[in-house]
Structure 1
Amino acid sequence: MDKLLLQKIEQCRKEMIALSGSYKLTSEVMVETSKKLDHLLNEYQLKNNQ
Structure 2
Amino acid sequence: MTLGVSEFLAKPVNIEDFLTRVRTQVSNCEWEKSIDSAISTIATESNSAAGKA
Query: Larger % of helix: which?
Result: 1
Q: Of 18, 27, 30, which aligns to 1:30?
A: 18
Please tell me whether Structure 1 or Structure 2 has the larger radius of gyration of its CA atoms: 2
CA distances 1:1-50 after superposition (whole Å, capped 9, x unpaired): xxxxxxxxx7xx622xx11x5216xx010000000111111000011012
Across the two proteins, how many residue pairs are aligned to each other?
34
What is the root-mean-square deviation in Å for CA atoms of aligned residues? 2.2
Which residue does the alignment assign to 1:14? Answer: 6
TM-score when normalising by structure 2:
0.52
Q: Which has the higher contact order (CA 8 A, sep 6+)?
A: 1
TM-score when normalising by structure 1:
0.55
In the alignment, the residues of structure 2 paired with residue 47 and residue 14 of structure 1 have an alpha-carbon distance, to the nearest angstrom, of 21
Q: Which runs of 5+ in 2 are unaligned?
A: 39-53
Q: Which runs of 5+ in 1 are unaligned?
A: 1-9
Identity %: 9
Runs of 4+ in 1 over 6 A off after TM superposition: none
